Structure 1
């Protein structure tokens, strides 16, 4: 799909599924917020991840792996819709980097690479939603140029959550 200086963002193959599952498990705060588990471990199973990937495909989302270029190790996941089933707009559904690889610029590099790819495709904007409890995510996305346009409630396995909707509009 696209490459950056240190990363390749590409299709996830069957051989990457164990590494992908470990990316999810390493982000226990995200699992707590979305799945409702206190520690994120033991409740979100590999089978649930596989089901979520299948549902993503059925609903038009594209799930990609974030790989280090140096060793082709999967360190994250990026999921997007070219046309969301709710509003017909492009959405970035998820960007998650393995906890052991966070705070090294991989999240920013993959997000910036995605936005460059969006611009090259001529998309008028890209949207994303951040669960209000995910306090680290809002400053991250705002620093990349995303601006809030709406707040709404969404049901997760962990319950109904307030979601802050943001949009990025490329400069003309």
Structure 2
């Protein structure tokens, strides 16, 4: 049982479909404080947690969100990437890859823990949460290796929300 805890937190701790998205505040890539309360109730959200700026899979994932950004805008969704990197790292990452969406710095991993994002050994997990306009999680996707699939999963969930 202890071995399973090493892989991920208690399954009950992880945010699931039907849960209300937890409120949080974090600095964005420009150093401005982002408050989730400012967007809940106004638009759907795509909140994706990723391990680290400028690593292979994380860069593919971020660039896939960038390349499909107009589709997210078509659904009125706000895309938010969160990792433990600091504001300066996020600024460089966003500039280097022309990322048009919000990157939030969770250096203490408080928000990652709030969502119950699992780890694989010591590597922070890669999980995407789709949140409806009312702040309810309608879809989650967890895959460490397939960063771009987080984008297709998110777009499919947004499409279903509009049907």
Say yes or no: TM over 0.5. Answer: no
Q: Does 1 or 2 have the higher relative contact order (CA < 8 Å, sep 6+)?
A: 2
Higher share in strand: 1
- TM-score, normalised relative to structure 2: 0.33
Give TM-score, length-normalised by structure 1. 0.31
Which structure is larger by alpha-carbon Rg, 1 or 2? 1
